């Protein structure tokens, strides 16, 4: 038992946002530890990139077209994964949208889209998955995704004069995710369903890294570890929270930020 703390053999996971930058690493890591993975995303091309990677590693994955803000799409996705791989007992909620707009230019529609995809989406996916986990018995692990910007404000210095700071709809949604995590952990604890959040710090994707090297430098200067995170560095936190290594951990937020929020 203690030698296999991170073993996910026989488990089935749905990763919402599994086609994204961090989702790609998360799907591969879950599969590498033995889970069968449903890759859910709104972007079909991105889904296939992650599915191909998992299968290329020798793992099992299925593609699932998912809109995280729509309950009927979530139910359909959970049905699909269950039919192809078995009942889902691990859910990772890392779908997100970002406008890149400034505080000044943000519209009510931008707020609604962001809240629907992230905060409402994480709520809906967790609720649908938990109903099934309660019925099937055996508990489960739900892993929400917050952000350092749900804990502290973006630092204007990191963005310089030419880029708008990360907008407030995103940070407000991510702050909400941390409270949703505590609420759902309390609600479902007695069913053996653990609910935790991973809170990433600065993980600009390779496109941003290539386009804005100055931004990456300024971010790095504000990290105690003096560098940005790389995509695969989020995966350990997810595997930990998905596995029996964290069997008595619920309602917590695991910050993976190189120390950004420590000073």
Active site residues: 170, 174
Contact status: 140 vs ligand NAD (CB under 6 A)? no
Looking at beta carbons only, is 127 or 191 nearer to ligand NAD?
127
Of the residues 80, 89, 141, 147, which one makes contact with ligand NAD according to CB under 6 A: 147
CB of 50 to ligand NAD, least distance (A): 9
CB of 61 to ligand NAD, least distance (A): 15
Count of chain residues binding ligand NAD (CB under 6 A): 28
Of the residues 14, 23, 77, 246, which one makes contact with ligand NAD according to CB under 6 A: 23
Contact status: 123 vs ligand NAD (CB under 6 A)? no
Of the residues 6, 43, 155, 189, which one makes contact with ligand NAD according to CB under 6 A: 43
Taking the alpha carbons at both ends of the chain, their separation in whole angstroms is: 38
Distance of alpha carbon 121 from alpha carbon 118, whole angstroms: 5
CA distances from 26 to 48, 202, 223 (A): 14, 16, 23
Looking at beta carbons only, is 174 or 194 nearer to ligand NAD?
174
CB of 208 to ligand NAD, least distance (A): 8
Looking at beta carbons only, is 60 or 116 nearer to ligand NAD?
116
Segment contacting ligand NAD (CB under 6 A): 12-20, 99-107, 133-141, 154-162? 12-20
CB 198 within 8 A of CB 226: no
Taking alpha carbons only, the member of 6, 16, 22, 233 closest to residue 142 is 16
Looking at beta carbons only, is 69 or 176 nearer to ligand NAD?
69
Residues 153-212 that bind ligand NAD (CB under 6 A): 200, 202-205
Dihedral of alpha carbons 121, 124, 126, 128, sign: negative
The sheet with strand 140-145 has its strands ordered as 61-65, 36-41, 12-16, 90-93, 140-145, 193-200, 253-256
| Residue in the shown chain whose Cβ atom is closest to ligand NAD | 20
Q: Go through the chain and tell me how many residues it has.
A: 263
Angle at 258 between CA 256 and CA 263, to 5 degrees: 105
Parallel/antiparallel/unpaired status of strands 193-200 and 140-145: parallel
CB atoms within 10 A of CB 25: 21
CB 132 within 8 A of CB 38: no
Residues 96-115 that bind ligand NAD (CB under 6 A): 96-97
Q: Which residues bind ligand NAD (CB under 6 A)?
A: 16-17, 19-23, 41-43, 46, 66-69, 94-97, 117, 145, 147-148, 200, 202-205
């Amino acid at each position: 038992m203690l030698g296999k703390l991170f073993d996910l053999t026989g488990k089935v996971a749905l990763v919402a946002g599994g086609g994204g930058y961090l989702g790609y690493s998360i799907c591969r890591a879950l599969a590498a530890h033995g889970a069968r993975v449903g890759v859910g995303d709104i972007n079909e091309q991105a889904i296939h990139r992650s599915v191909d990677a998992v299968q290329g590693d020798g793992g099992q994955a299925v593609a699932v077209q998912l809109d995280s803000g729509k309950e009927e799409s979530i139910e359909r996705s959970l049905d699909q994964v269950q039919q192809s791989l078995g009942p889902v007992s691990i859910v990772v909620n890392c779908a997100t949208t970002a406008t890149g707009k400034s505080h000044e230019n943000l519209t009510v529609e931008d707020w609604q889209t962001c809240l629907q995809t992230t905060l409402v989406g994480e709520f809906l996916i967790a609720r649908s998955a938990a109903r099934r986990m309660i019925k099937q018995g055996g508990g489960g692990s739900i892993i929400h995704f917050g952000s350092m910007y749900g804990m502290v404000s973006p630092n204007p210095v990191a963005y310089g004069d030419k880029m708008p700071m990360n907008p407030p709809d995103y940070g407000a949604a991510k702050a909400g995710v941390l409270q949703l995590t505590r609420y759902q952990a309390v609600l479902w604890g007695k069913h053996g369903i653990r609910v935790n959040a991973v809170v990433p710090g600065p993980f600009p994707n390779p496109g941003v890294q290539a386009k804005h090297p100055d931004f990456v430098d300024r971010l790095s200067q504000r990290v105690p570890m003096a560098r940005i995170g790389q995509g695969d560095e989020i995966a350990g936190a997810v595997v930990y929270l998905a596995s029996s290594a964290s069997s008595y951990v619920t309602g917590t937020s695991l910050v993976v930020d190189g120390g950004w929020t420590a000073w």
